[in-house]
Amino acid sequence: MLQQGRALAGKGGAFVNDFKAFIARGNVVDLAVGIIIGAAFTTIVNSLVKDIIMPPIGMITGGVDFSDLYINLSSVDYPNLAAATAAGAATINYGVFLNAVINFLIVAFAVFVLVKQVQRFRKQEEAKPVEPPKSELLLAEIRDLLKERK
């Protein structure tokens, strides 16, 4: 029994080493950072939509709260979505869907702006003339001297 435990520990050690190598790769760390920042960004966008964008839209539409718009599929009337949900009624929550679409459009726009800026910075870096290495300059001089001799 003790030997089986040692054998598993040896195999586990290789697994742990492989896992460490996998995690240490740059792409995995970059992905993890991206996911964490994305989660934080989602919270900001949700607040932007709920607290800043939707109130003026609700005011324009006569005080309608989009998140409370729903179609009641049951035969009992409910004053709002929260009451229908609490009662377990079947509803189609199209207001919540509209909020999700608005959130998506804002996130998509923000990502679009970010990608455009990154592309702009890359173009500026590529536009800088790259001086050839010293060895290429010497070879070009030798070539030009050989052409002159002929």
Q: Is 74:90 a contact under the CB 8 Å cutoff? A: yes
Please tell me the distance from the alpha carbon of residue 106 to that of residue 50, in angstroms, as a whole number.
12
Tell whether the model's pLDDT for residue 94 goes beyond 80. yes
- pLDDT tens by residue, 106-137: 878 877 887 888 888 877 766 667 788 888 88
pLDDT at 10: 56
- The strand pairing partners of 2, in sequence order, are none
Q: Could you tell me the pTM of the whole model?
A: 0.52
Count of beta carbons in the 10 Å neighbourhood of residue 55: 12
- pLDDT tens by residue, 43-55: 887 888 778 887 8
pLDDT at 91: 93
Please tell me the distance from the alpha carbon of residue 29 to that of residue 103, in angstroms, as a whole number.
27
Average pLDDT over all residues of the chain: 81
For the chain, domain boundaries: 65-149
pLDDT at 137: 85
Average pLDDT (27-37) is 81
